[in-house]
């Protein structure tokens, strides 16, 4: 499986995002406790494993899993002084881990990339012990909540999302799907929390601008031709970046954190 956001800058981008995001709040809302054995499925460069390690303390344990050796190397480096944290290469769809190994299984911003996300969710349930929590934190409508949002840019954004979904399987509306799916799979006490991913009342800071520039340039080879060619694509990306920089425009994005108990 190819991770579509791969770029030479992706490890750095993710680490910044992880260290400035609100994973700590989501983990606490979902009931992470000292002493828990935790799987961080699709852990990226290990910035969230740092937070989990601190919350579970030395009596707990964290296993980070990712497909990317580059991200795992960074994760090992930044967590090198935490003996209760380990990182292994693996695929969240077939982890190869024993049944019922974890009290708390966390997976953020990964299943949006996985076309068979139901199968992957089933695998995460399998490795969680009965009574343990499975927690999926996902975007829902990333980049579409803006005001003012000029009609031409709104339509282009909609088409952008459709082309990305069609060509890569990336699901920008992943977040809303896990409540029903966890219920269907028989998980208990399924709850959903809505958290801000970002709220930009005014001009976006450099970090967020860079984040979007990276997204647009990484996806360029995949989507530009279906969106009117390179020149048209770059012009609309510039327009979108101007909207992000507009001091009078509001931009926001939400996270849906869905958690359920393995029966």
Ligand X SMILES: C[S@@+](CC[C@H](N)C(=O)[O-])C[C@H]1O[C@@H](n2cnc3c(N)ncnc32)[C@H](O)[C@@H]1O
Enumerate binding residues for ligand X (CB under 6 A).
Answer: 1, 3, 14, 17-18, 42-44, 48, 65-68, 71, 91-93, 108-110, 113-114
CA dihedral sign of residues 214, 64, 19, 115: positive
User: Residue 150 CB, nearest distance to ligand X (Å)?
Assistant: 28
In terms of CB distance, is 137 or 249 closer to ligand X?
137
Q: What is the DSSP string of 90-158?
A: -BTTB--PPTT-EEEEEEES-GGG-TTHHHHHHHHHHHEEEEEEEEEEEESSTT-EEES--HHHHHHHH
Q: Which residue is nearest to ligand X (CB)?
A: 44
Closer by beta carbon to ligand X, 42 or else 60: 42
Which one, 63 or 156, has the nearer CB to ligand X? 63
Rank residues 18 and 181 by Cβ distance to ligand X and give the closer one: 18
Work out how close the CB of 96 gets to ligand X at its nearest, in angstroms, rounded to a whole number: 11
| Token representation of residue 103 | 């009290």
Tell me the closest approach of the beta carbon of residue 85 to ligand X, in angstroms: 15
Residue placing its CB nearer to ligand X in the complex, 65 or 187: 65
SS3 42: coil
Between 110 and 249, whose beta carbon lies closer to ligand X? 110
Token pair listed for 249:
């425009």
Q: How far is the CB of 37 from ligand X (least distance, A)?
A: 18
Asked if 169 contacts 113 with a C-beta cutoff of 8 angstroms, the reply is yes
* DSSP-assigned letter for residue 30: T
Nearest to 64 by CA among 76, 54, 55: 76
Degrees, nearest 5: CA angle 258-45-132? 35
What are the distances in angstroms from CA 141 to CA 31, 39, 157?
A: 26, 26, 11
Smallest gap from Cβ 11 to ligand X, in A, equals 8
Report in angstroms how near the CB of residue 68 gets to ligand X at its nearest: 4
| Adjacent-strand bridge partners of 250 | 147, 201
Nearest-approach distance from CB 73 to ligand X, in angstroms: 12
Q: What are 39's strand-pairing partners?
A: 63, 105
Comparing CB distances to ligand X, the nearer of 27 and 244 is 27
């Amino acid at each position: 499986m190819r991770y579509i956001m791969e770029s030479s800058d992706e490890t750095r981008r993710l680490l910044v995002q992880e260290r400035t995001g609100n994973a700590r709040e989501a983990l606490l809302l979902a009931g992470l406790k000292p002493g828990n054995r935790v799987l961080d499925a699709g852990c990226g460069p290990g910035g969230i494993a740092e937070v989990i390690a601190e919350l579970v303390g030395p009596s707990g344990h964290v296993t980070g899993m990712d497909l990317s050796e580059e991200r795992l190397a960074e994760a090992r480096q930044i967590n090198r002084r935490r003996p209760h944290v380990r990182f292994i290469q693996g695929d969240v769809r077939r982890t190869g881990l024993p049944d019922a190994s974890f009290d708390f299984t966390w997976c953020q911003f990964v299943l949006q990339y996985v076309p068979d996300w139901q199968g992957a969710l089933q695998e995460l349930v399998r490795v969680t012990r009965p009574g343990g929590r499975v927690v999926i934190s996902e975007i829902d409508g990333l980049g579409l909540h803006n005001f003012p949002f000029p009609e031409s840019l709104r339509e282009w954004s909609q088409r952008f999302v459709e082309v990305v979904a069609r060509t890569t399987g990336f699901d920008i509306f992943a977040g809303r799907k896990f409540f029903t799916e966890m219920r269907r799979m028989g998980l208990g006490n399924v709850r959903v929390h809505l958290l801000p991913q970002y709220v930009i009342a005014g001009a976006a800071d450099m970090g967020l601008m860079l984040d979007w520039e990276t997204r647009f340039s990484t996806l360029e080879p995949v989507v530009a031709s279906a969106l009117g060619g390179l020149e048209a694509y770059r012009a609309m990306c510039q327009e979108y970046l101007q909207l992000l920089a507009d001091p009078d425009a509001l931009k926001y994005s939400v996270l849906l954190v869905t958690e359920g108990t393995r029966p």
